Chains A and B, each alone.
Chain A
Amino acid sequence: MSKNFQHLVSTAVPIAIENIDTDQIIPARFLKATTRDGFGENLFRDWRYDSNNQPKADFALNNPTYKGEVLVAGKNFGCGSSREHAAWAIGDAGFKVVVSSFFADIFKNNALNNFILPVQVTDEFLEKIFSEINKDVNTQLEIDIEKQSIRILSTGDEAKFDINPYKKACLINGYDDIDYLLSLRKEIETYEAGREFNF
């Protein structure tokens, strides 16, 4: 998986459910791995498979007509547990972008730290995406990080999204927070020397 990307045109997988928590994205019983790999096969495990491990036909990820590198989901995506495994599972399953009308804070950080772009749009724009995909599963979305824009190619509808300039640079250049923090060693030691207590 290449870490950095600036521009993407892709069809999308729609999950029109609100408040999707990280226990749905990756249930706790699959958090036992000690590496970052392989979580994709259990992405949305209990929505994807029934209790006999048979795929549920009505779930979007099991529908072969839906494909692409963009996941589109209802409001308040990624709430709940701080497990970064949720971002790993989404990335491992081949998604580079998640579109929703609202993201939980920790998930947003975790996604960005794994070079997955959370694109927050208005409720109306999200509805528009869902309805276009509903009409045509081959609806393509164009995401441009530099311009901070998302476009529905078939209709030309476009929306802007926010991303902080630092994280934007990280995504485009493929570097991470630790590289930056490690460069602050001197500042950190100076700070420590100036503190009387450990609080």
Chain B
Amino acid sequence: MGKTLFDKLWDSHVVLSKPGFPDAVYINTHFIHEVTSPQAFDGLRKRGIPVFRTAKTRATADHNVPTIDQHLPIKEALSRKQVEMLTTNTKEFGVELYGLGHPYQGIVHVIGPELGITLPGMTIVCGDSHTSTHGAFGAIAFGIGTSEVEQVLATQCILQYRPKRMKIEVNGQLKKGVLSKDIILYIISKISASGATGYFVEYAGEAIRSLSMEARMTICNMSIEMGARGGLIAPDEITFEYIKGREFAPKGADWDKALAYWKTLSTDKDAEFDVTLTFDAADIEPMITYGTNPGMGIGVTQHIPSVEQMEEKEKASFRKSLEYMGLEPGSGLLGKKVDYVFIGSCTNSRIEDLRLVAEFVKGKHKAEGVVAWIVPGSKQVEAQAKKEGIDKIFEAAGFQLRQPGCSACLGMNEDKIPAGMYCISTSNRNFEGRQGPNARTFLASPLSAAAAAITGKVTDVRELV
């Protein structure tokens, strides 16, 4: 019987597999950031051990950083301390840091791919659940906790049990105005926020294959929102084209050798998955979430389920969720007033996202009373946007182009949505309080978010494109 791509990669990274023990899996690339690493470095210090392979860990500051006036000291004392500690720790332990002010600084899951650090065939971990993003390159990539960060720093390995395999196939072609964000929100709405827990997903099918690398990253990014350990897409010409020439990508003869290997990275025809799910791209309309987990999503023209449609034991959680959102069961979202628009996060802050939004808002202006933030994923995305004049389009449309960071996706810095306000957001989580205490989040694609910014309300973007 053939093997899945996931199993091929896993097997080739197992350092030791012992009955009764989890596999010791070798990690090729380890990303760290300021929030989930200080206690891990502290652990090394307590044990009196160094970072085992310093060149295989890269650091950046993203979760806590302000998105305006980044040249000034961080105002918030605790955030400043955490960012400073990352500088101290990386210096002491000899780890490369792309800190504030560095031209490579940005959201960890944006900079890895754009610098050519993320490559097919790798195992990649980071103390952040959206590490699944890097799976778009045909890598095993997943989020870990701080104790595991310490394991990787100390040994370049991690102890893991092999997850089960799930294949998600999306066939056919997407309709106009429907983006990869809609595909993943659709899948999660069908299988729920826990539907893939215990599995590693491989995405396949024509609709996935035809996506750009940026769009594939959006899909893999949200694998964790259905509970999956991670999600990957087999590399192809689109992948190789994206990687070629990037800063840390292999060059010359190394490139040829790497390419020959990468071309072998696919699931065998007769390989078996534990679960296979199939969807049709033509069934997907622009999606929006109405509740407080990413599985609570509907097509933008559809209605929120009624309480009666819920299973008995789900009713209390459903009611609590809608109460938090200030929405009525059974109602529609079209025309619902929006206060904030956030275009950013590791899900949708890449140059392609910004170009798409710029093309859409060009010649239009945001609705009065709406605050529209665009937070680029990295310094490089920001620089590219300026080079292309996209910044001027945003300015003319009344959108504020800020500086790179995680920003209002999780509101660790000052970028919080005020209590009770509605934000249509291109990020990945609509949990209670995620964007600020009592903030209310509608997750959607960059196009749907841009459309809401223009009209001031939840809008079917297909009517405007």
- A residues with CB within 8 A of B: 16-19, 21, 23-24, 27-29, 31-36, 46, 51, 74-76, 79-85, 87, 102, 104-106, 109-110, 113-114, 123, 127, 164-166, 176-178, 180-182, 184-185, 187-188, 191-192, 195-199
- From the candidates A81, A84, A188, name the one contacting B26 in the complex (CB within 8 A): A188
The number of inter-chain residue pairs (CB within 8 angstroms) is: 193
B143 close to A106 (CB less than 8 A): yes
Any chain A CB within 8 A of the CB of B193?
Answer: yes
Q: Which of B117-125, B178-186, B325-333 contacts A (4 or more CB under 8 A)?
A: B117-125
Most chain B C-beta atoms within 10 Å of own C-beta, residue among A82, A102, A113? A82
In the complex, B452 has a CB within 8 A of chain A:
no
Residues of chain B lying within 8 A (CB to CB) of residue A176 = 147
- Judged by a CB distance under 8 angstroms, whether B381 is at the interface is no
Q: A19-B317, A29-B412, A75-B194 are in contact. List 15 more A-B contacts (CB 8 A).
A: A17-B316, A28-B412, A34-B81, A76-B194, A79-B194, A80-B129, A80-B431, A84-B39, A85-B146, A106-B145, A109-B148, A166-B22, A182-B49, A185-B155, A199-B121
Query: Per a CB cutoff under 8 Å, which of A81, A184, A198 touches B16?
Result: A184
Interface residues on chain B, number (Cβ under 8 Å): 78
Contact between chains at A32 and B129 (CB < 8 Å)? no
Interface pair B146/A84, CB less than 8 Å apart:
yes
**B269 on the interface (CB 8 Å rule)?**
no
| A165 CA / B39 CA spacing, docked (Å) | 27
CB distance from A146 to the nearest CB of B (A): 16
Q: State in angstroms the CA–CA spacing of A182 and B151 once bound together.
A: 9
Cβ of B145: which chain A residues have Cβ within 8 Å of it?
Answer: 82-84, 87, 106, 109-110, 113
Which residues of B lie under 8 Å from residue A34 when comparing CB positions? Answer: 38-39, 42, 81-82, 85
Q: Mark B420-442, 1 if CB is under 8 A from A, else 0.
A: 00000000010111100110000
Task: List residues of B whose CB falls within 8 A of some A CB.
Answer: 15-16, 20-22, 24, 26, 28-29, 35-36, 38-39, 42-43, 47, 49, 52, 56, 63-64, 78-79, 81-82, 85, 119-122, 127-129, 139, 143-148, 150-151, 154-159, 161, 163, 193-194, 197-198, 224, 227, 229, 257-258, 261, 293, 295, 313-314, 316-317, 320, 410-412, 419, 429, 431-434, 437-438
The residue on A at minimum CB distance from B37 is A34
Q: Knowing A21-B431, A109-B145 touch, does A82 contact B128 (C-beta < 8 A)?
A: yes
Q: Determine whether the beta carbon of A197 is less than 8 Å from that of B121.
A: yes
Choose from A29, A76, A191 the contact partner of B15 (Cβ within 8 Å).
A191
Residue among A34, A104, A198 having the largest count of chain B Cβ atoms under 10 Å: A34
Can you list 11 A-B contacts (CB < 8 A)? A16-B316, A28-B63, A32-B412, A34-B42, A79-B227, A82-B128, A83-B35, A109-B148, A180-B21, A191-B26, A197-B261
Contact of B155 among A24, A102, A181 (CB under 8 A): A181
CB distance from B145 to the nearest CB of A (A): 4
Q: Is B122's CB under 8 angstroms from A178's CB?
A: no
CB contacts (< 8 Å) of B24 on chain A: these are 181, 184, 187-188
Residues of B within 8 A of A187 (CB): 15-16, 24
- Contact assessment for A82 and B129 in the assembled complex, using a CB-CB cutoff below 8 Å: yes
Cβ–Cβ < 8 Å partners of B410 in chain A:
23, 28, 81
The chain B residue sitting closest to A180, CB to CB, is B159
* Separation of A16 and B312 alpha carbons in the complex (Å): 13
Contacts A104-B227, A166-B22, A178-B150 known; A82 to B36 CB distance under 8 Å? Answer: yes
Which of these, A82, A104, A195, A197, contacts B127 with CB under 8 Å?
A82
